[in-house]
Chain A
Amino acid sequence: GQQVMQIPQYQHVQEGEDFTTYCNSSTTLSNIQWYKQRPGGHPVFLIQLVKSGEVKKQKRLTFQFGEAKKNSSLHITATQTTDVGTYFCAGPPGNAGNMLTFGGGTRLMVKP
């Protein structure tokens, strides 16, 4: 079945440093979604990418979808303590648009 892998599993950064997490799927994705989960909270939808090579920005966050639609990345510029949490990518297995396979997540810790 489809596998979605994320690296790194953990990342410690100093406040103000940049951060990037990478997501790779074993199969081509029709779309990729990113979620953020604060410690003790529930996953919250951030964004969806659909087109090959698509790049979207949300303030200090930049999301990219690979040309082959099998990988994606999330880059945070100048991290802040409010960025702390676990970031998950997720994509639909096969043509099952209403289901998602989640990556294992990247836990970001920011030292003030």
Chain B
Amino acid sequence: DAGITQSPRHKVTETGTPVTLRCHQTENHRYMYWYRQDPGHGLRLIHYSYGVKDTDKGEVSDGYSVSRSKTEDFLLTLESATSSQTSVYFCAITKGSSYEQYFGPGTRLTVT
């Protein structure tokens, strides 16, 4: 267990509404990531962070923003949710100098 929690675990929202997903870690790891998982597409990187207030875009960043004001929290925001953003969202961290990633339990988001 890498001490990663995600909230909420499930959310249903309407098109056009803002949504924020939270990833929380308890071990002060530097790198944190947000992925989305869709059938047939595996895991695709949305944004990642390499420190407080240090973030960068991943492969599928359009329509998403992130913030990291504290080491332990990495927030993913959908400013105006669309049905194409219906997905399962996973947060992950890497530990120290190791490149292996540890994932949170995921958030299932449905945009109606």
Contact = CB atoms under 8 A, between A and B. Distances in A.
Interface string A26-49: 000001010000000111110010
Contact of A48 (B99, B104, B105, B106): B99
Interface residues of A, number: 23
A68 interface: no
A45 B101 contact: yes
A10 B48 CA distance: 30
Contacts of A99: 33, 45, 48, 58
A63 interface: no
Given A42-B90, A105-B42, 14 more contacts: A6-B42, A41-B105, A43-B103, A45-B101, A48-B100, A90-B101, A98-B50, A98-B94, A99-B58, A100-B101, A102-B35, A102-B44, A103-B42, A104-B41
B12 interface: no
A29 to B, nearest CB: 11
Given A98-B31, A98-B50, A42 B99 contact: no
A102 B42 contact: yes
Contact of B104 (A42, A88, A103): A42
A43 B33 CA distance: 13
A43 B90 contact: yes
B102 A45 contact: yes
Contacts of B106: 42
A28 B50 CA distance: 24
Contacts of A42: 90, 103-106
Nearest to B31: A98
A99 B48 CA distance: 8
Interface string B32-73: 010100001111110010100000001100000000000000
Contacts of B40: 9, 104
Interface in B4-27: none
Interface in B65-86: none
